[in-house]
Each structure stands twice: as structure tokens, then as C-alpha cells.
Amino acid sequence: MSPASSLAARLREATWAAHEQAADDGFLAGLLRGTRDTRDYARLASQHLVAYRALEAAIASCDRGLVAALHDPALERLAAVETDLAALGGAQAPTDASLAYAEHLASLADDPVRLAAHHYTRYLGDLSGGQHIGRVLSRRFGADTTAFYRFDIDDLDAFKDGYRATISGFELEAADESALLAETASAYASAEAMHASLVDGEPGSRVAA
């Protein structure tokens, strides 16, 4: 890793192994390949509901620092996932892993650096690989169930370039940069645990959204 590389590049390098592991997500692969059904998709969307509700509440409470510099209201996913769940028949109960993830996100409402790690992991993932996922799920389950994957952003690539430039241009102390890198790895692990809980656990009962 070159010491002269940008912070965004170092962040990507530090999380590449976790990114590659996420590509082997068995639950999501089943949805994309057609071996899982609408109820399974609703289970996934229900976990997103819990995670993004916590993430976006924390972001709203932490209107400063790196997370505020990165955030754009066009990224917010809560209303979109609620729309998808209405089309899918309603939300289902979150898994313990999803509840733990949401609790951790809520705990970061006064930590703009570590919260930015989750902002980066979730939203940049939605803008990148999430676009392929959305297209496949739209063909399988209908466009009315995939609002979560559609953004009111004209040029996604340009937006992502600007996002990474903001990360690299933001002045962080060495300790904060280390915290950002470590928390981003933790964010990947939390997302992996949330998906694994859908594979290993029984489907939850339906609850009100």
C-alpha cells in the first residue's frame, strides 16, 4: 500500500478481502439465481428496514464531521424499502443479528468518523453492486418491489467519484483514519452476519412496518 495513495484508495484496499467474501453471500445468491422466493426477498428487505432506520436516524443526529460531508438526502433508503415491503406484503421480524447491527449503528450517533464507515459501506455498495442486484430482483419480483435499488441521481459514476474525493479530501487525524478503516471492516462483518442469519435462522413472523 503506498503511503501517498488517497484515503479512499486505502479504504478500498483495506476492505477488499471483506468485499470479495461478501460476493459469496449464499442467501443473496439464492435470490438472484431463483432458488429463493418472494418471502425470502421480503425477509431481506425487512432486515434492510431495521438497518437503514437506525443508520439514517444516527446520521440525522450526527450532522457534523465526515459523515455530514458525505451525506446527501438522495442516498436515503428508508422510504424506498418501506415502499418495497408494502408491495411484498409487509415487513417480517428482524433477526437477532439485524437488531444487533441496528443497535450498534444507533450507538454511533455521536461519532461522525465511525458512522461514516457504515455510510460508506452501505450506500456506496448500493450505488455499485447493488445496481446489478436491483436489476435482477426487478426481473424476478417486479419493478414495484425494487425502489430500494433506484436512486434519484443522474450520474451514479460521477456521484461515486465525488463521494470518494470527499473522503480523500477530508482532513482526518491519524487516529481517526485508523478508526475509519477498522470500523469499515466491522461494517462488512455486520452486514455478513445479517445475511448469514437469514440462511441459518427460521423466517420471522410478519410484523407491522
Give per-residue pLDDT as tens, 120-144.
Answer: 999 999 999 999 999 999 999 999 9
Which domain range does residue 194 map to?
7-200
CATH number, domain containing residue 178: 1.20.910.10
Q: What is the pLDDT of residue 209?
A: 37
Q: What is the pLDDT of residue 158?
A: 98
Main-chain dihedrals φ then ψ at residue 206, nearest 5 degrees: -70, 135
From the CB of residue 167, how many other CB atoms can be counted at a distance below 10 Å?
23
Q: What is the pLDDT of residue 5?
A: 77
* 19 assigned to some structural domain: yes
* 81 assigned to some structural domain: yes
Q: What is the pLDDT of residue 14?
A: 76
| Residues in the chain where the model's pLDDT stays below 50 | 1-4, 201-209
SS3 180: helix
From the CB of residue 158, how many other CB atoms can be counted at a distance below 10 Å?
10
Does the pTM of the predicted model rise above 0.85? yes
* 206 assigned to some structural domain: no
* 177 assigned to some structural domain: yes
* 209 assigned to some structural domain: no
Give the total number of structural domains in the chain.
1
Whether the CB-CB separation of 47 and 199 falls below 8 Å is answered with no
Whether the CB-CB separation of 13 and 1 falls below 8 Å is answered with yes
* 205 assigned to some structural domain: no
* 147 assigned to some structural domain: yes
* 208 assigned to some structural domain: no
Q: Which residues of 59-89 are buried (b: 16+ CB within 10 A; e: fewer)?
A: beebeebbbeebbeeebbbbebbbbbbebbe
Whether the CB-CB separation of 63 and 110 falls below 8 Å is answered with no
